[in-house]
Amino acid sequence: MTTWTNQMDRLIAPAVARSEVTDEVVVGAGRLADTGALVRRMTDKARVLLCADDEGFEAAGHVVKTSLQAAGFEVQAHVLPAAPLPKASVEEAEPFRAALAADPGLFPVSVGSGVINDLTKYAAFKTGRRYVTVATAASMDGYTSAGAPLAENGFKVTIPTRAPIAMLADLDVIANAPAEMNGWGYGDLAGKSAAGGDWILADALGIEPIDDVAWPMVQDHLKGWLDGPEGIASGDHDSIARLYVGLTAVGFAMEAHGSSRPASGADHQIAHMWEMEGHSYQGRKVSHGAAVSVGCVASLALFDWLVDQDLSRLDSDAIVQHAPSLQARELTLGKAIPDKKIAEKARDELEAKFATPAVHAARLRMLRSDWPALKDRLETHLYRHKTMADMLQKAGAPAYAWQIGVTSEHLLATMHAAAFIRRRYTIFDLLHDIGQTEAAFAAVLPLLTPQSAELAS
Ligand SMILES: [Zn+2]
């Protein structure tokens, strides 16, 4: 059996060696006090700007600060309030950026989970600084990735930045993080299953070929990382270590591929809509991982529907003939996305991915002739949506929209809008290409509502 320590040697170490940015990754129990020595290996600056929110600071900041001081650093802590949660936005990163810009002698160290890491990453990049990240929860896959998924003027984009020069994760700290946060990370990792399905579609249609570095880094190990979801909820060290290694590998896969394709597809497009809306449930903003969990199950339900179709019998001529023009698509987009700023950005994405009739016809020809093989690839790769929903719930993550306060109508509207917000080819685009968007949405929606899911369980 492959253990997580094994994977640190065989998967993460080569990824670090290949990385142009990250020089060191430390994962293990009781490692927090090694932060000072690690940062000392990374910089000869004398002073550290410790970026955290107060929860992250409580969880790890004190030990990190002491260890930095023991390594000879003067530490200036910049701690944001954890309630309300800091927003994943460029605006929220401004205090960190300003502090770094004002003092070239400061070396940034982020102590926290997703948002704090992304804010620090962005601020460090903007001021031409390297940074070290200390993880406090296995809550998302972005610790080691180059991009920072932040909202800029309300539109969520993955801003090209730079991965950390080093990352440290103390498994004792991570196992003690609120269980729901590790559940969110499990959801973010689970999304890679659906995202892999999207990449298989793009590959099969010759739109975006699967590569032989990033794909195996994630997809060859995904099922092992997702195995034993109960351990995530109960704080089992081994399950959480596997999850953490998985999330770390995904970050490197994104760096190796130069985009978030290895990590994000229709599942993330759905999640990004709720993140842009600032969707809240029970008085709190819904986290990235929770939104991805729900997006993942919805996306897998669409794949379940797809593999039950017989695309070898597509009436390609009729589909191409009745396909809406770009102008008609823009009208549909306007209806699907009422927010003007988001719609404006989405219009660029739509234009970039709009297929001419010739391209559209060629895709349908490929689908017709290659369908049995493609269907087989998808079925081998994907989880059925119900299986994934059960795993997510065991891990303590939400699986269905109502579990994060999203009604069926809202979910349907989200799926309609999400199809437009990225040029990346996903199942949404395939459903459009085969002229079956409405049919597929109508078929899956009842499966994702409380009544049927409760009856089924
Ligand atoms: Zn994600």
* Candidate from 7-11, 22-26, 81-85, 388-392 with smallest mean pLDDT: 81-85
80 C-alpha vs ligand 1 centroid, how far in Å? Answer: 23
**Side-chain-side CA neighbours of residue 210 (13 Å):** 17
Q: Tens digits of per-residue pLDDT, 434-446? A: 999 999 999 999 9
Distance of CA 186 to the CA centre of its chain: 11
191 C-alpha vs ligand 1 centroid, how far in Å? Answer: 8
- pLDDT value of position 2: 75
Secondary structure string (H, E, C) spanning 317-357 = HHHHHHCCCHHHHHHHHHHHCCCHHHHHHHHHHHHHHCCCH
Mean pLDDT of the chain, nearest integer:
94
Domain with CATH 3.40.50.1970 in the chain: 4-177
327 C-alpha vs ligand 1 centroid, how far in Å? Answer: 32
**Separation CA 371–CA 311 (nearest Å):** 6
Residue 58 in this model has a pLDDT that exceeds 80: yes
- pLDDT value of position 457: 46
Q: What is the mean pLDDT of residues 16-26?
A: 94
- pLDDT value of position 308: 98
**Separation CA 145–CA 148 (nearest Å):** 8
- Residues forming beta bridges with residue 109, ordered by sequence position: 50, 132
Q: How confident is the model at residue 346 (pLDDT cuts 50, 70, 90)?
A: very high
Q: Are 271 and 192 in contact (CB under 8 A)?
A: no
268 C-alpha vs ligand 1 centroid, how far in Å? Answer: 7
Q: Tens digits of per-residue pLDDT, 32-42? A: 999 999 999 99
* Candidate from 281-285, 304-308, 327-331 with smallest mean pLDDT: 281-285
- Please give the radius of gyration of the chain, using alpha carbons only, rounded to the nearest integer: 22
339 C-alpha vs ligand 1 centroid, how far in Å? Answer: 23
Distance of CA 79 to the CA centre of its chain: 25
Indicate the helix (H) or strand (E) that contains 231: helix 230-234
Q: State percent of the chain over pLDDT 90.
A: 88
DSSP 79: E
Residue 66 in this model has a pLDDT that exceeds 80: yes
40 C-alpha vs ligand 1 centroid, how far in Å? Answer: 30
Per-residue tokens: 215: 């794909």
239 C-alpha vs ligand 1 centroid, how far in Å? Answer: 19
- pLDDT value of position 114: 86
60 C-alpha vs ligand 1 centroid, how far in Å? Answer: 23
143 C-alpha vs ligand 1 centroid, how far in Å? Answer: 11
192 C-alpha vs ligand 1 centroid, how far in Å? Answer: 9
- pLDDT value of position 451: 64
Residue 20 in this model has a pLDDT that exceeds 50: yes
Q: How confident is the model at residue 321 (pLDDT cuts 50, 70, 90)?
A: very high
Task: Indicate the SS3 state at residue 277.
Answer: helix
Q: Which residues surround ligand 1, an ion (CB under 5 A)?
A: 188
227 C-alpha vs ligand 1 centroid, how far in Å? Answer: 19
Q: How confident is the model at residue 397 (pLDDT cuts 50, 70, 90)?
A: very high
43 C-alpha vs ligand 1 centroid, how far in Å? Answer: 29
237 CB neighbour count, 10 Å cutoff = 14
161 C-alpha vs ligand 1 centroid, how far in Å? Answer: 16
Task: Indicate the SS3 state at residue 28.
Answer: strand
Q: Are 178 and 58 in contact (CB under 8 A)?
A: no
453 C-alpha vs ligand 1 centroid, how far in Å? Answer: 25
- pLDDT value of position 196: 98
378 C-alpha vs ligand 1 centroid, how far in Å? Answer: 21
C-alpha dihedral, 434 to 438 to 439 to 440, nearest 10°: 80
Within 60-218, strands assigned E span 74-80, 106-112, 132-135, 147-152, 155-160, 166-170
Tokens 């040697």 correspond to 9
End-to-end CA distance of the chain: 31
Q: Which of 258, 229, 252 is nearest to 394 (CA)?
A: 229
**In Å, what is the CA distance from 23 to each residue of 14, 20, 341, 440?**
11, 8, 39, 46
263 C-alpha vs ligand 1 centroid, how far in Å? Answer: 7
227 CB neighbour count, 10 Å cutoff = 11
131 C-alpha vs ligand 1 centroid, how far in Å? Answer: 21
Residue 454 in this model has a pLDDT that exceeds 60: no
Domain with CATH 1.20.1090 in the chain: 180-208+262-456
Q: Tens digits of per-residue pLDDT, 210-268? A: 999 999 999 999 999 999 999 999 999 999 999 999 999 999 999 899 899 999 999 99
**In Å, what is the CA distance from 430 to each residue of 7, 198, 313, 355, 375?**
35, 9, 15, 11, 13
DSSP string for 51-74: EEEHHHIIIIIHHHHHHHHHTT-E
Residue 302 in this model has a pLDDT that exceeds 90: yes
Pick the CATH number of 180-208+262-456 from 3.40.50, 1.20.1090, 1.10.10, 2.60.120: 1.20.1090
73 C-alpha vs ligand 1 centroid, how far in Å? Answer: 33
Task: Indicate the SS3 state at residue 159.
Answer: strand
Tokens 């590569």 correspond to 211
Indicate the helix (H) or strand (E) that contains 457: none
Q: Tens digits of per-residue pLDDT, 255-276? A: 899 899 999 999 999 999 999 9
Q: What is the mean pLDDT of residues 302-315?
A: 97
316 C-alpha vs ligand 1 centroid, how far in Å? Answer: 35
Q: How confident is the model at residue 145 (pLDDT cuts 50, 70, 90)?
A: confident
- Residues forming beta bridges with residue 158, ordered by sequence position: 149
**Separation CA 247–CA 258 (nearest Å):** 17
243 C-alpha vs ligand 1 centroid, how far in Å? Answer: 14
267 C-alpha vs ligand 1 centroid, how far in Å? Answer: 9
**Separation CA 325–CA 401 (nearest Å):** 32
365 C-alpha vs ligand 1 centroid, how far in Å? Answer: 33
Q: Tens digits of per-residue pLDDT, 160-209? A: 899 999 999 999 999 999 999 999 999 999 999 999 999 999 999 999 99
Residues whose CB is less than 8 angstroms from the CB of residue 391 and which lie 6 or more positions away in sequence, other chains included: 190, 226, 229, 383
CATH assignment of 4-177?
3.40.50.1970
Q: What is the mean pLDDT of residues 3-28?
A: 94
295 C-alpha vs ligand 1 centroid, how far in Å? Answer: 11
Per-residue tokens: 173: 């700290």
100 C-alpha vs ligand 1 centroid, how far in Å? Answer: 27
168 C-alpha vs ligand 1 centroid, how far in Å? Answer: 20
Tokens 């704080």 correspond to 235
**Separation CA 329–CA 331 (nearest Å):** 5
Residue 455 in this model has a pLDDT that exceeds 50: no
Q: How confident is the model at residue 1 (pLDDT cuts 50, 70, 90)?
A: low
444 C-alpha vs ligand 1 centroid, how far in Å? Answer: 23
Task: Indicate the SS3 state at residue 108.
Answer: strand
188 C-alpha vs ligand 1 centroid, how far in Å? Answer: 5
153 C-alpha vs ligand 1 centroid, how far in Å? Answer: 20
